[in-house]
Amino acid sequence: MKTNTQVYQQLMPEKVSSELPAIYANEGVNEAKIKFIVKYFNPCGAQTWYISEGEPMKEEDGSPVLCPKTLDQDWMFYGYVDGFDYPEWGYVTLGQLVDLRCAPFNMPIERDIHFSPSIMQEIFP
């Protein structure tokens, strides 16, 4: 079984962190044209997170917010979540994704390593 640190490293390689635009970077952009940089998914279910923006979380004094289970830098993501009762735009932290385990096999959330950055209308025509 993967440790939380291994899950963190798999979900947030440097390539992803360097390509993510900051939170609010897509404000005012036509929803169909928003580009998703990374895709996370539940390997035991239907939930998928398409992330379009993200940035490291910081305390008011500028110090980093750490993922509770890994003590690595936590990130705030914004994107589109599909597979729950209804799809929606919203926020999720990297720490929350690291913490999630999928029933019934206790598997962690995974990053789709075959996903190429795509705009919304290419994924949801």
Residue 87's pLDDT is what? 93
pTM beyond cutoff 0.85: yes
Residue 80's pLDDT is what? 97
Question: Based on the structure, what is the number of domains in the chain?
Answer: 1
The torsion region of residue 62 among left (phi > 0), alpha (psi -120 to 50) and beta comes to left
Residue 69's pLDDT is what? 86
What mean pLDDT comes out for the span 50-68? 96
User: What are 19-58's pLDDT values in tens digits?
Assistant: 999 999 999 999 999 999 999 999 998 899 999 999 999 9
What mean pLDDT comes out for the span 86-94? 95
The tokens of 116 are what? 């190429």
Give 95's pLDDT tier (boundaries 50, 70, 90): very high
Residue 27's pLDDT is what? 96
Residue 84's pLDDT is what? 79
Residues 6+ apart with CB under 8 A from 6: none
Q: Which residue, among 21, 18, 20, 39, has the nearest Cα to 123 in the 3D structure?
A: 39
Residue 58's pLDDT is what? 96
**Domain boundaries, position 74:** 4-123
The tokens of 85 are what? 């009762």
Residue 103's pLDDT is what? 77
The tokens of 120 are what? 């919304």
